[in-house]
Structure 1
Amino acid sequence: MLTRLFVKDFAIVDQLEIEIDAGMTTITGETGAGKSISIDAIGLCLGARADAGMVKAGADKSEITATFNITQIPSASQWLLENDLLEADQEDCIIRRVITKEGRSRAYINGAPVPAQQLKALAPLLIHIHGQHAHQMLLKSDYQLSVLDQFAAHKHLLAQTQLAYQGWNKIKNQLKALQEAQTQRDARAQLLEYQVAELDEFNLQEGEFNQLESEYKKLNNAVNILQNSQQCFSMLYDNDEQNMVSMLKMVNQKLTEASRFDPALQNIIDMLNDAEIQLTEASYELRDYIEDQEPDPQRLAELESRMSTAMDLARKHKVEPETLPEVHQALAQEFDEIKQNNAQSISLEAEEKQAGEQYWSAAEKLTESRQKAAKKLAKAVTASMQQLNMQQGVFNIALNRLDKASKAGSDAVEFEVCANPGQPMQAISKVASGGELSRISLAIQVLTSSQMETPTLIFDEVDVGISGPTAAVVGKMLRQIGEHNQVMCVTHLPQVAACGHQQMQVSKTTDKRKTTTKMYKLTAEQRISELARLLGGDQITENTLQNARELLVS
């Protein structure tokens, strides 16, 4: 809850420092004294827009500090811890806002500088400000739904529905992306199926084209190779008149005879013997090769055909023939991936259907809970309206199931009211006046406050347009909220002011040079005097004092 507020050089405030207790605190003062300044200051601390006009005339800057005890606000503590703005054993959250006369603004949480956006994120966890025109929110369907959910206190159902919606939406987006590309994939798959089948049928292996090319060259030149080989064999061995083997033998014989006279020739003779053996073996090998050679026109035609097909396919795919196996593999892989995508699309369709069923199941449970809560809330609001001088008023909550899904379920809510007997129920926006809206809004605040996580509620002159017995009921309702929430209420009605557990007064002083506003807590006797002023104006009599004493709620 809010425990302390410090304001310096803000609007017409020189310096203000107040301690704020639990329960209901009423704030009163003369018209124009600046009763709402403290509310404005708190709003700035919680991220409201700042401008240079807020700085007191003659000052360099405005400074506002709000201190909150967060021991009973686990959501706020968790948020601060997650954002590294709180020590583990820290009980207070101190928010400070500084505005310069040039209009620049700086914000701090527990001494750490933060952007105003973070103040706005933290604000709903600490305070709810119900301003003079807050009842206008009742006209918005989204707000009406949030009010009903708050009263129903079914966070677990909301969480389940939201989780189911997010999961379903994720799968739908994935499926949509796959389906949008389906046409292109189908066209590509049709082409790939033909290309892969063609390459499968041809089935050129890795390195095969080079082998084909080499064999083709050999067969295409077979006659020339055979002729040259035969001529060489004749020169080496087969020529009866003269061949290289016989000539080498003759050389060898002559050197052997000469070596009898000079042993130094023996090394040469040994090398020639080796050469003779090598030459003879080469001749035999060449003879065998020649015997194995036979022109094969059929095989040559086969090679020509396969190479021609390979080159045609290569031109079609705009690659070199020897790279066709890699192209074949890549196209086959792409075709498999497209088939897998199609299978994934079928699988996702099944998942999408299942996720949709899970969502609608969760949404149905949420709807059932809302229907039960709507009946209870409508009955309770009707009773409160009748207490608030709408004796014949009837309140109803129309809950309509929509076909459209959302993270908040599939329900549309409309608050309806019948102000006079015999009239049909109509949307609250069509039949309720501003004063009636204000009273209905207040009744709803009272009925839902026990489910509020926000510990501090501020009401800024929500009692405008009411008086007498109705004002007394409003005061009692606000005090009822103050039994389990901290309530601050700016009011001009003595019946409301008297219901506070404590009361503060705002006063304004003016001299020739400046105007200053002050705010201070009233003692019991001072409260009686202030209530008497609200009852009788400036002329305070013993009767008004006595009325004030009787009015004051102990």
Structure 2
Amino acid sequence: MLCQLSINNFAIVRFLELDFKAGMTTITGETGAGKSIAIDALGLCLGNRSDANTVRPGASKTEISARFTLHDVPQAKRWLEDNDLDNEEDCILRRTINSDGRSRAYINGNPVPVTQLKAIGQLLIGIHGQHAHHAMLKSEHQLTLLDSYANHKLLIDSVQASYQRTKHIENELKQLELAQQERIARKQLLQYQVEELNEFNLGDGEFRDIEQEHKKLANGSELIDSCQASLALLSEHEDHNVESLLNKVIQLADNLQTMDEKLAPVASMLNEGLIQIQESRSEIEDYLSRLELDPEHFAHLEARLSQVMQLARKHHVAPEDLYSHHMALKNELAMLSDDETRLDEIRQELATSQQAYLTHAQKLSQSRQRYAKELDKLVTRSIHELNMPKGKFTIAVNFNPDMSNSLGCDQVEFLVSTNPGQPLQPIAKVASGGELSRIGLGIQVITAKKVATPTLIFDEVDVGISGPTAAVVGRMLRSLGESTQVFCVTHLPQVAGNGHQHMFVNKFNKGGQTETTMKPLDKEQRVNELARLLAGDIITENTLANARELIQ
């Protein structure tokens, strides 16, 4: 629950430090005194939007902090632990706003983004404003109220997850279908190109082999002449050949080493040279014996080489890259074929996902219908207590798959009959302002009892209510305060008298500046304040007696 609120230089508040207790706290004050100013300040600690106008004139910044105990709020403790912001004891939210409009947020002394203030704030406080009953006229808010009462979060999460998955698949299908015509044209071109290259069937590295073989055969005569001339010089020429001359030199070297051992290496090197020359001669002889100048094979190579060049030009690639280009086109064609298969698969996925969404939405709708009947009875009983003895309230839940969204397929409508004999009609058509206020307040109190929020604030939700009805409202809020901390800003003495404690807001001028303060009232001060609410400026003994009776 909220234990303490500290406000510095906020609007017309110079400084306030307020301690709060459990139960129901009523807040009253003169018109224009700023009864809701503490709630507005607290809203900044809960992540509401801020601007430079919130800073008190003449001050450099606004600073607001709120301290909460978390004894009965396990979900808030878990959130703090998950975000490494746990303080073990209390939770302190703090917000500063500079005069230039810059804002900073803190949780337990740690700087955080404002979104985290909002996230933890939703677990700590629920605020019901004076215009909440107007929002109740909107179908989407009616749905929110029903879901708040039903508290079937797991069902809503399942519907939302299923809806998002369905939308994701729909988007993928849409993109594939939009590109389908372009894909078909590309596929036709690729099929022609791949068939042409498949028919030619160039192998990996084949172009290099063709080019080398063609070059060899194109120079066949010169190869033969050069090989024969080389053999003649090496060994076959009668008078002058390298092998015979080298043999003579080897004989001379052998004689020299007998005369001087230092020349022994020379003889060895010459012998090695002779071996190399003999092996070279053998290689050339072997090559020459296997060299075939087949004109038909040469013509085949020349034709294939010419076709490689032609296809390479056609596909705008280098001849040596034609094979890899062929493989790339085949891969692209396969991928396009896969896309066609993916289209069939994704259509099936979409149908499955849509059916799963409808199944989840139907379960959620069934839960809404069950809790709607329960809420019908509670709200009808509540408005009977609020001086509408013949009123009847019903929630219509209509399942319509054609209006699917992330919250399911339900159209929720609040129907009411305020007088006997009148048919149930949409609440916006038949309820007057006062009736709407009472119905709205009844729903807010009932749903607040169901939602596990430790602190609830009702900001002038009793507008349009008076007399005996106001006393019933006060008792309803006090009953709620027995299990939940309740703050109620009110102008009705019948409501204010039901509080466990009472705070008074006062506005005054000091040094030419307006200030607002808020302070708790003791029993006698409280009697005087209730008397003022009952009678205005002229307070009599009867008025004071009535005030004491309200407190009792």
Same fold (TM over 0.5): yes
AA aligned to 2:489 is V
AA aligned to 1:137 is A
Secondary structure at the aligned position of 2:136 is classed as helix
In structure 2, C-alpha distance between the alignment counterparts of 1:465 and 1:363, rounded to whole Å: 38
Secondary structure at the aligned position of 1:206 is classed as coil
AA aligned to 2:345 is S
> Pairwise mapping of residues 70-469 of structure 1 onto structure 2 (< 5 A)?
70-87=70-87, 89-90=88-89, 92-100=90-98, 104-223=102-221, 225-226=223-224, 295-402=293-400, 403-469=402-468
In structure 1, C-alpha distance between the alignment counterparts of 2:285 and 2:79, rounded to whole Å: 96
In structure 1, C-alpha distance between the alignment counterparts of 2:424 and 2:388, rounded to whole Å: 15
Q: Is the 2:151–2:451 contact (alpha carbons within 8 Å) kept by the matching residues of 1?
A: no
Relative distance call for 1:26 and 1:227 in structure 2 (3 A) is: closer
Structure 1 position 135, deviation (Å): 1.7
Q: Is the 1:234–1:243 contact (alpha carbons within 8 Å) kept by the matching residues of 2?
A: no
AA aligned to 2:476 is M
Q: Is the 2:250–2:271 contact (alpha carbons within 8 Å) kept by the matching residues of 1?
A: no
Q: Deviations over 1:27-50 (max 9, x none)?
A: 123333332222222223323344
Q: Is the 1:26–1:503 contact (alpha carbons within 8 Å) kept by the matching residues of 2?
A: yes
In structure 2, C-alpha distance between the alignment counterparts of 1:350 and 1:173, rounded to whole Å: 14
Relative distance call for 1:269 and 1:496 in structure 2 (3 A) is: closer
Q: Deviations over 1:384-435 (max 9, x none)?
A: 2232223333222222223243221121222222333444433222333332
In structure 2, C-alpha distance between the alignment counterparts of 1:294 and 1:519, rounded to whole Å: 114
Relative distance call for 1:524 and 1:251 in structure 2 (3 A) is: closer
In structure 2, C-alpha distance between the alignment counterparts of 1:497 and 1:341, rounded to whole Å: 70
Relative distance call for 1:550 and 1:191 in structure 2 (3 A) is: same
In structure 2, C-alpha distance between the alignment counterparts of 1:271 and 1:18, rounded to whole Å: 110
In structure 1, C-alpha distance between the alignment counterparts of 2:281 and 2:514, rounded to whole Å: 128
Q: Deviations over 1:138-165 (max 9, x none)?
A: 1222211111111112112112222222
After the TM superposition, which of the residue ranges 468-477 and 321-330 deviates more from structure 2?
Answer: 321-330
In structure 2, C-alpha distance between the alignment counterparts of 1:302 and 1:129, rounded to whole Å: 91
Q: Is the 2:250–2:270 contact (alpha carbons within 8 Å) kept by the matching residues of 1?
A: no
Structure 1 position 472, deviation (Å): 1.1
Relative distance call for 1:478 and 1:221 in structure 2 (3 A) is: same
Relative distance call for 1:175 and 1:511 in structure 2 (3 A) is: closer
In structure 2, C-alpha distance between the alignment counterparts of 1:119 and 1:284, rounded to whole Å: 92
Determine the structure 1 residue equivalent to 2:29. Answer: 29
Relative distance call for 1:133 and 1:296 in structure 2 (3 A) is: same
AA aligned to 1:188 is R
Segments of 5+ residues of structure 2 without an aligned counterpart are none
Relative distance call for 1:344 and 1:541 in structure 2 (3 A) is: same
Q: TM-score, normalised by structure 1?
A: 0.85
Quote the RMSD (CA, aligned, Å): 3.8
In structure 2, C-alpha distance between the alignment counterparts of 1:255 and 1:478, rounded to whole Å: 126
Q: Is the 2:437–2:465 contact (alpha carbons within 8 Å) kept by the matching residues of 1?
A: no
Secondary structure at the aligned position of 2:519 is classed as strand
Q: TM-score, normalised by structure 2?
A: 0.85
In structure 1, C-alpha distance between the alignment counterparts of 2:276 and 2:51, rounded to whole Å: 107
In structure 1, C-alpha distance between the alignment counterparts of 2:146 and 2:200, rounded to whole Å: 72
In structure 1, C-alpha distance between the alignment counterparts of 2:271 and 2:477, rounded to whole Å: 128
AA aligned to 1:452 is V
Relative distance call for 1:287 and 1:479 in structure 2 (3 A) is: closer
Aligned residues: 547
Q: Is the 2:376–2:395 contact (alpha carbons within 8 Å) kept by the matching residues of 1?
A: yes
Q: Is the 2:155–2:364 contact (alpha carbons within 8 Å) kept by the matching residues of 1?
A: yes
Relative distance call for 1:312 and 1:449 in structure 2 (3 A) is: same
Relative distance call for 1:303 and 1:548 in structure 2 (3 A) is: same
After the TM superposition, which of the residue ranges 497-506 and 176-185 deviates more from structure 2?
Answer: 176-185
After the TM superposition, which of the residue ranges 223-232 and 248-257 deviates more from structure 2?
Answer: 248-257
Q: Is the 2:393–2:415 contact (alpha carbons within 8 Å) kept by the matching residues of 1?
A: yes
AA aligned to 2:361 is A
In structure 2, C-alpha distance between the alignment counterparts of 1:129 and 1:271, rounded to whole Å: 106
In structure 1, C-alpha distance between the alignment counterparts of 2:51 and 2:287, rounded to whole Å: 104
Relative distance call for 1:185 and 1:273 in structure 2 (3 A) is: same
In structure 2, C-alpha distance between the alignment counterparts of 1:309 and 1:147, rounded to whole Å: 77
Structure 1 position 4, deviation (Å): 1.3
Relative distance call for 1:117 and 1:233 in structure 2 (3 A) is: closer
AA aligned to 2:314 is K
Q: Is the 2:243–2:277 contact (alpha carbons within 8 Å) kept by the matching residues of 1?
A: no
Q: Is the 1:233–1:286 contact (alpha carbons within 8 Å) kept by the matching residues of 2?
A: yes
Determine the structure 1 residue equivalent to 2:501. Answer: 502
AA aligned to 1:22 is A
Determine the structure 2 residue equivalent to 1:533. Answer: 532
Determine the structure 1 residue equivalent to 2:69. Answer: 69
In structure 1, C-alpha distance between the alignment counterparts of 2:498 and 2:518, rounded to whole Å: 19
Structure 1 position 252, deviation (Å): 7.9
In structure 2, C-alpha distance between the alignment counterparts of 1:322 and 1:106, rounded to whole Å: 65
Relative distance call for 1:275 and 1:527 in structure 2 (3 A) is: closer
Q: Deviations over 1:214-255 (max 9, x none)?
A: 32233334455556666777888889xx6657x987998999
AA aligned to 2:468 is P
In structure 2, C-alpha distance between the alignment counterparts of 1:460 and 1:282, rounded to whole Å: 109
Secondary structure at the aligned position of 1:362 is classed as helix
Structure 1 position 526, deviation (Å): 3.3
Identity fraction in percent: 52
Structure 1 position 366, deviation (Å): 0.3
Secondary structure at the aligned position of 1:139 is classed as coil
Relative distance call for 1:286 and 1:43 in structure 2 (3 A) is: closer
After the TM superposition, which of the residue ranges 288-297 and 104-113 deviates more from structure 2?
Answer: 288-297
Relative distance call for 1:312 and 1:18 in structure 2 (3 A) is: same
Structure 1 position 301, deviation (Å): 1.8
After the TM superposition, which of the residue ranges 511-520 and 438-447 deviates more from structure 2?
Answer: 511-520
Q: Is the 2:234–2:243 contact (alpha carbons within 8 Å) kept by the matching residues of 1?
A: no
AA aligned to 2:532 is R
Q: Is the 1:438–1:462 contact (alpha carbons within 8 Å) kept by the matching residues of 2?
A: yes
Q: Is the 1:70–1:76 contact (alpha carbons within 8 Å) kept by the matching residues of 2?
A: yes
Relative distance call for 1:171 and 1:289 in structure 2 (3 A) is: closer
Q: Deviations over 1:114-142 (max 9, x none)?
A: 44444334332222222222222112222
